Structure 1
Amino acid sequence: MTVAPVPDLILDVMAAADPAARSAATSKLERLTPASGDFGATMAESARSAAADTAAASTGTMGSLLPGGTGHATFVKKDTSDNAVYRKFEAFVLQMFVETMLPQNANDVFGKGTAGTVWRSMLAEQLSNEMAKGNGIGIAKQLAKSRAAAGGGQSES
């Protein structure tokens, strides 16, 4: 019986990483190293730097924040309205329906055991989210109407 040592995963990833991205990550980590040993001051400086980066991103200078000044940035805007909450609830209900409709014994597609169950659940979640983004099955609209009739909130999605 032979035991093979597991290679260091982090070193393998760093060796395979893009050199520009690796140097950018290394420089950020070095900037976080406290010179004075005061962790609180280092974290406060990091927060100020992140706030400045966010301000630069909102003014459209995102290219300077990316390694080498190139690349793509994705901005995610969260919908905090009541309708978004209703849509999320509808997606949750749809997820239960979709998950029961997916094949139970599809080990070739999803895998075996716990991993297969997780993949199946993730697929059902994504399908239900996409269904709820459209018109869904009307649960979100009904909840919004009942909320409006009760005296508060938005009426239509």
Structure 2
Amino acid sequence: MFKKIMLSAAIVAAMGTTAVQAATSGTISFEGSIVDATCTVDTSANITQTVNLGKQDAGDFDGVGTTVGQTPFSISLTDCNTDIDGASVTFSGDATTDGTLTTDNTTVGVEITQEDGTTVIPINQASAVISKSPDNSILLNFNAAYKALAATVTSGQANAQATATVNYN
């Protein structure tokens, strides 16, 4: 009996060894560069800020997906290194399945858009890259608005928070 178990273990081990030997390998390359400095966040348009979406009437929402209270906000970068061509921003936080930032009111979220007010920036994805201007600055303009997540929006607080990360190109 002991010999049969040992023979079975040897066969299983040999089969496992064959599978490992048949595996392929590849190379993973990591690329990037180190620069002296990136950009400075302009203190008059701080990256840490509060965007006041105001008090919106629940009756102004016209069904799931409608937005109300669009409010512009900006992140201004100055003194950008010559190696920097542009920048984008990733807003990270808790999101719904369609990429809307969740709030403490389950019937609405916060939708962030590019400067045009229509191109949605899903939470946890980067915005479009904005090119550096000749004065070595980058002005990243966005909009935020409440977005209905339910057919009927209920009254109450609707606060949200996201982390803004600047990505340099």
The alignment's TM-score, normalised by the length of structure 1, stands at 0.25
Q: Quick check: which one's strand share is greater? A: 2
Q: Quick check: which one's helix share is greater? A: 1
User: Which has the higher Rg, Structure 1 or Structure 2?
Assistant: 2
The alignment's TM-score, normalised by the length of structure 2, stands at 0.24
